[in-house]
């Protein structure tokens, strides 16, 4: 149910705009209050009158009406969720660039709530590299991007690009929104269970997770990186979100992606970018789990042009990157902070050293000496150390099960 939830629906110029009518009906039926803002191009596909009748609110179209200014800031703050469905290729490009030439864009840029977009376009447009880059960028800003569906397209062709069906969008919104509502349930100690079957013991909590490698530029085409796949961090983000937390996932370069409505992905490339994202998100979270394999060193001065192989030896001067875990450990103000240690020798001593040096609450140790543990595997074998001297050794498990063990430990500390 979405009773009492305020949803701002943005409709853009796409054939799929006819599905917005059904979407409004479904949202209103669930108890949501729906306001609609549309782009000028959307009017060619669906009428404001139909949208307004179903939403039971006038449709908002222009930044100015006569000499009255539409207060997009108020609108952006009114909503519990902004949903842009359908999202046209054109509005996607504007979102990627931060353009502000209509009321929908001004409202989007002012919104302080989660934003979900459901793209709709023809397959060739969908597959265009610029669309891909824009989508990555828009997702990197923390927006939730719903996958498109395969099927018959307006062009008559068959392929990817159909907007998700209104029922699927409703299910997505339902999963994303209850997290803020069920807060009081867990604070009372009561337990709520979702369709994922997981206890909602993190409802109302916010978490920051880092995952994947970082790439440190040597020149415009080369970098220093590592073999991290990001699988462990993604599993942790999913576990936290499945249990009701709202997760900000700061993700280094990886082909993996998160499509859980409770996870906002911030894509970064270098350690410096990951550091900046984490430092700004950290003050607002309850939990931070640093599972990224951050490069410890970066080239002092990346070359502006591609380095040519003139000499037999190339010497790169490297400098230390900022230690994100350590920086957050110094800023900690009530958050539970978890770090990872990946070691090849002297595992226990190094892990304990990290726990204290970086002021973490838990350190998850995985040793590259254990079979089935480490980069790229779907399994992992960990030991978790806490500050009171506790040490829990786990058997080899899937990364999703390991994520559940780590989150269990965090939850125990949170409510201790
Ligand atoms: N980490 C970080 N920022 C860095 C380096 C590491 O946040 N610049 C975090 C990792 O995400 C992980 C933990 O620190 O949670 C341990 O990383 P690791 O590279 O194993 O530790 P180091 O401090 O680099 O120690 P050493 O080089 O001695 O292994």
Does ligand 1 come within 6 angstroms of the Cβ of 275? Answer: no
Q: pTM, whole model, 2 decimals?
A: 0.66
The SS3 of residue 245 is coil
Distance CA 237, CA 217 (A): 27
Is it true that the peptide bond before 86 is cis, omega within 30 degrees of 0? Answer: yes
Which H/E stretch holds residue 261? none
H or E stretch including 79?
A: none
Residue 289's φ and ψ, nearest 5 degrees, are -120, 115
CA 295 / ligand 1 centre spacing (Å): 8
Q: Does the beta carbon of 240 sit less than 6 angstroms from any atom of ligand 1?
A: no
pLDDT for position 185: 31
Tell me, yes or no, if 71 is annotated catalytic: no
Task: For residue 416, list its beta bridge partners.
Answer: none
75 lines ligand 1 (CB under 6 A): no
Structure tokens at 50: 């139909």
- Please tell me the distance between residue 377's alpha carbon and the centre of ligand 1 in angstroms: 20
Over the chain (416 residues), the average pLDDT of each successive run of 10 is 91 95 95 95 95 93 70 81 96 96 94 92 91 89 86 77 91 74 32 55 94 96 94 94 93 85 90 97 97 97 93 94 98 97 88 96 86 68 94 90 95 92
Does the beta carbon of 277 lie inside 6 Å of ligand 1? Answer: no
- Which long-range CB contacts under 8 A does 280-285 form with residues at least 24 apart? 281/208, 281/248, 281/250, 282/208, 282/328, 282/331, 282/335, 283/331, 283/333, 284/206, 285/206, 285/207, 285/208, 285/248, 285/335
Instruction: Give the tens place of pLDDT for each residue, 236-272.
Output: 999 999 999 999 999 999 988 787 888 998 999 999 9
Cβ–ligand 1 distance for 202 under 6 Å, the answer no
Q: What distance in Å separates the CA atoms of residue 208 and residue 247, rounded to the nearest whole number?
A: 6
pLDDT tens-digit map of 327-375: 999 999 999 999 999 888 888 999 999 999 999 999 999 877 676 666 6
**Ligand 1 mean position to 294 CA, how many Å?**
7
CA–CA dist 257, 260 (Å, integer): 9
Pocket test for ligand 1, best of 249, 292, 331, 332 (most atoms within 8 A of CB): 292
Q: Which domains does the chain possess?
A: 6-178 (3.40.50.1950), 186-414 (3.40.50.10300)
């Amino acid at each position: 149910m979405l009773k009492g939830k305020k949803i701002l629906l943005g409709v853009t110029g796409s054939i799929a705009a006819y599905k917005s009518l059904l979407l409004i009906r479904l949202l209103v039926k669930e108890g949501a209050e729906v306001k609609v803002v549309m782009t000028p191009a959307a009017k060619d596909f669906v009428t404001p009158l139909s949208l307004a009748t179903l939403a039971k609110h006038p449709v908002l179209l222009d930044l100015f009406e006569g000499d009255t200014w539409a207060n997009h800031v108020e609108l952006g703050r009114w909503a519990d969720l902004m949903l842009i469905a359908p999202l046209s290729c054109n509005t996607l490009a504007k979102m990627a660039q931060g353009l502000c030439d209509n009321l929908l864009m001004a409202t989007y840029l002012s919104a302080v709530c989660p934003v979900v977009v459901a793209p709709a376009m023809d397959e060739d447009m969908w597959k265009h590299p610029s669309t891909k880059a824009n989508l990555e960028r828009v997702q990197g800003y923390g927006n939730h991007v719903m996958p498109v569906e395969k099927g018959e397209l307006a062009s008559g062709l068959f392929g990817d690009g159909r907007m998700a069906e209104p029922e699927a969008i409703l299910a997505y919104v339902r999963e994303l929104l209850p997290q803020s509502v069920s807060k009081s349930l867990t604070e009372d100690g009561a337990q709520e269970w979702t369709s994922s079957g997981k206890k909602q013991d993190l409802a109302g909590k916010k978490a920051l997770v880092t995952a994947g490698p970082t790439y440190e530029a040597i020149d415009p085409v080369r970098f220093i990186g590592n073999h991290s796949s990001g699988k462990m961090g993604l599993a942790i983000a999913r576990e936290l979100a499945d249990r009701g937390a709202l997760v900000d996932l700061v993700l280094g370069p990886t082909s993996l992606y998160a499509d859980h409505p409770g996870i906002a992905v911030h894509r970064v490339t270098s350690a410096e970018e990951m550091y900046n994202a984490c430092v700004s998100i950290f003050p607002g979270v309850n939990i931070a789990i640093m599972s990224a394999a951050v490069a410890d060193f970066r080239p002092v001065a990346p070359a502006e042009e591609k380095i040519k192989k003139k000499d037999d030896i190339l010497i790169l001067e490297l400098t230390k990157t900022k230690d994100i875990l350590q920086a957050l450990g110094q800023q900690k103000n009530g958050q539970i902070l978890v770090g990872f240690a990946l070691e090849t020798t002297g595992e226990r001593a190094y892990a304990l050293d990290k726990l204290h040096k970086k002021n973490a609450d838990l350190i998850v140790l995985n040793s590259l000496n254990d079979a089935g543990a480490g980069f790229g595997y779907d399994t992992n074998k960990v030991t978790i150390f806490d500050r009171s001297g506790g040490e829990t050794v786990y058997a080899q498990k899937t990364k999703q099960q390991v994520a559940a063990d780590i989150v269990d430990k965090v939850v125990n500390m949170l409510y201790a």
